[in-house]
Chain A
Amino acid sequence: MLLRHTPKEIKERSALTINPAKTCQPIGAMYAALGVHKCLPHSHGSQGCCAYHRSALTRHYKEPVMAGTSSFTEGASVFGGQANLLEAINNIFTIYNPDVIAVHTTCLSETIGDDLNQIISKAKEEGKVPAGKYVIKANTPSYVGSHVTGFANMVKGIVDAFPVNTGKRTNTINIIPGYVEPSDMAEIKRIAAELGVKAIVFPDTSNVLNGPQTGKYEMYPSGGAKIADLIKAGDSAATIALGPIASGPAAKALDAKCKVPCEILNLPIGIRATDEFVDRLRILGGVCVPESIATERGQVIDVITDNQQYFAGKTAALIGDPDQLVSLAGFLTDIGIKVRHVVTGTAGKKFEKRVKDVAGGDVNVKEAGDYFYFHQLIKNEKVDIMFGNTYSKYISRDEDIPLIRFGFPIYDRTGHQYIPSAGYRGAMRLVEKILNAILDRQDRDAAEEKFELVM
């Protein structure tokens, strides 16, 4: 019993987080920046932050993750980090030659009060930013929000830096895919292409963090949103932002900056949410839904109807990031699974309402929660399956509840990088995982005489 310390009785805690269900902003910013082609994320803070983020992303993606750091010292913390950042910008362009440096702050540089705009301007004045190269930025204090906020801030940083409204509207649709896996970003692009919609998807970590084995180490893999496209995003007809928390701020900023109207949808996880996405894409792009997509949808519905008896009445507990959880809770409800507990580490007042809107009013919902609290909920009301990141495995083991790995980070299984959970195909993968979990458990626990061959 690894978590034998978790008592059933729930007490209010204000000063303490036990077993966090979130991490800090900078890692989300680093992940978002990796979704720009030839971009080197840069952590403006101590060396440890950058090492931790790179290690965490490496464990999750099993890919090299590159990022620079300002390597703060005591001097920098007294006199400010300007000198470090100027030196870093100069070193990075000279040696690593990226097209973009995406600087994010840390709790340290934020508390010192470094002004990134001013430092970046100074770097430009001093000729440290070569022609055609960019330094973009996001403020990501670790003591505000979570990794999801950091992602949202860096995506907004991309919008602040690149899109230009030339006055010539195109029929292109911008899609901001949200804090999802490279596989999901690829799937979202595929769906748009299948519909015949010209789309600019950013950030796009596909072929960056799920690249093929190439026999050589490349600092800048082939994927990532291209600068030329990011600039053109200012002329697009509309923006679809997937996930209000991760993508909403950037979409609104793009509307304000370039007058590109935006629609903010839930992440296309599950049938209902994917339907909404496909429908908006169809209307905004002025296209028809092709047979191929209709078939994918039909296939996943076919599998669900074939197996609905196994979902009926099963209960689930979910922990993870807010945008993901809302869509997942909706999907589970749609297929007949009762969602009982939903916990996110990220603070947000609307979260409870969003979940209850899709999963019903009597679900236990908590924003700014942690694993300890989640475990207590489960101790008070046991469920049949759990969804969460790798850290959920302690609870899964102690309470003997099957776990479906979903979210970030996943350190102990693979597949999430390459196989989507977004779209109809993603729904098919989720259904398969859920069924396997339920049926494996049924097989394991079945009495000998009730052990079934055909299920």
Chain B
Amino acid sequence: MENLKILEDRKGQVFEKGKDKFDLLCGVKSASGAVSQRACVFCGSRVVLYPITDALHLVHGPIGCAAYTWDIRGSLSSGPSVNRMSFSTDLRELDVVYGGADKLYKAASSLIDKHSPKAAFIYSTCIVGLIGDDVESVCRKLTLEKGIPVIHVDSEGFKGTKKDGYRAACEALAKLVGTGDISGVVPVSINILGEFNLAGEAWIIRDYYRRMGVNVNAVITGDARVEDIKRAHGAALNVVQCSGSMTYLAKIMEEKYKIPYIRVSYFGLEDMTSALYDVAAFFKDSPEILERAKTVVKGEVDAIMGELLKYRNELRGKKAALYVGGAFKAFSLIKALRVIGMDVVLAGSQTGNKEDYEDLKKISDEGTIIIDDANPQELSRFITEKKADILIGGVKERPIAYKIGIGFCDHNHERKTALAGYEGMLNFAREVYSSVMSPVWKFVPRNDAFGGKRGRP
């Protein structure tokens, strides 16, 4: 591994705290040929909008884009599930030659008639722009004919990175916001932006705010209904959780509806608590909200602290590596890992920006590797060099950790238990603990006394 070369173009995207002068390059497109862990514009839009459960999601393009995004995100619904179906215009060669707009119109029209969704999202994929389909006009026509908003998500894959896809999704959402009736929305109301209800997390968070006396007007987009989004402009405050994906929408709403926003994170005790107190502080005219928040926090922390301390004792000094989508999540995870006694030796993200990485550097320990848009070789090299005991990442990182023979925790779409909120912190600690401490690591080569005994031939 020591002779691993970092792609010349990528040198600026790796940094070791205490060693290198900090000027991390990020927000750049991946070098051609790089084995990057990044995705495309469509992917970004699809993951953000997918959890809107009573909307129709139709992918306009060849079959792959729909096939690979069919129900892969564990965003739970408390009701409708039409979003879990995979609809595609399945463009074929003749469509590419003659255009696919007619096919799109027919497909969308029949689906809307059949499922009566509250809105429809039509996603453009790479070739749609190239072949010149006028998706906008199909959407306009359908909107008039069907009496529901039919929204074009301008998500041609090559037009940027996943971040640009988030932006396209925000633009699509912005078309819905402001079109609903807000007369029934109570004054002490917030929207939660960038919470996708993976493993039911939005339900947990909603409940905390409810107990504080704060009404959650809309969660965008976890377990969302089109109606909620339409009246999102009725809230007094936007609380932005996954900053990478949703800050843009918050900014649009700030400008258009004068709704301020705050950035929060629901991961870890510290950040979760701030997320509640910051909201309470916003509603300072109702001091009872803060009082109730304190009660919620105390009750929740008391309930989990005993078990957390047990893990902390056992995990103390163990090392973790993080590779996540957005850098903001990395901050929370670093803090959460400290709570359970662990050190972070590598922190990386697919889509962090300059300020994110500055902040990341500030809270990291000396020697921590900070990395933007990592490839598997780099990840594996730094994990091995820094002797990490666990990798926290997503689907493509999982087998790398297991090949090296260390623990893994999915903090992405494939998480199996809620990791947000206080009970999420406990779940996280349990998962990290059970993976780091799993007895199976005794069989991996670095610990396997028997492995060498193969006998002489």
Contact = CB atoms under 8 A, between A and B. Distances in A.
Contacts of A73: 29, 158-160
B39 A74 contact: no
Given A17-B90, A111-B96, A48 B33 contact: no
Interface in B57-105: 61-70, 81-82, 84-93, 95-96, 102-104
B5 A95 contact: yes
Contacts of B252: none
A217 B63 contact: no
Contact of A74 (B9, B158, B400): B158
Contact of A67 (B35, B399, B404, B405): B35
Contact of B68 (A5, A40, A56, A214): A56
B403 A58 contact: no
A442 B392 CA distance: 43
A246 to B, nearest CB: 18
Contacts of A111: 96, 126-127, 130-131
B106 A108 contact: no
A64 B158 contact: no
Nearest to A368: B90
Contacts of B38: 47, 51
B31 A91 contact: yes
B68 A55 contact: yes
Contacts of A215: 403-405, 444-446
Q: How large is the interface on B (under 10, 10 to 19, 20 to 34, 35 or more residues)?
A: 35 or more
B183 interface: no
A47 B35 CA distance: 10
Given A48-B40, A213-B443, A144 B106 contact: no
Given A106-B126, A108-B158, A219-B377, A16 B403 contact: no
B57 to A, nearest CB: 12
Interface residues of A, number: 80
A69 interface: yes
Contacts, number: 249
Contacts of A207: none
A216 interface: yes
Contacts of A218: 403
B395 interface: yes
B386 interface: no
A213 B404 CA distance: 8
B25 to A, nearest CB: 16
A219 B5 contact: no
Nearest to B155: A48
Nearest to A146: B63
A239 interface: no
Contact of A70 (B33, B62, B130, B377): B33
Contact of B106 (A16, A27, A56, A94): A16
B384 A143 contact: no
Given A47-B38, A71-B31, A219-B377, A14 B106 contact: yes
Given A71-B30, A213-B443, A142 B64 contact: yes
A68 B34 contact: yes
21 contacts: A16-B107, A19-B85, A24-B62, A45-B126, A47-B30, A48-B41, A49-B64, A55-B395, A62-B402, A65-B396, A69-B34, A70-B32, A84-B32, A85-B32, A95-B5, A107-B61, A107-B125, A141-B93, A213-B405, A215-B444, A345-B63
Interface of B: 1, 5, 7, 9, 29-43, 61-70, 81-82, 84-93, 95-96, 102-104, 106-107, 110-111, 114-115, 125-127, 129-131, 157-162, 376-377, 380, 384, 395-396, 398-400, 402-405, 443-446
Q: Which 10 A-B pairs have the closest CB atoms?
A: A48-B40, A24-B64, A215-B445, A88-B33, A91-B33, A142-B62, A23-B67, A217-B380, A46-B157, A15-B106
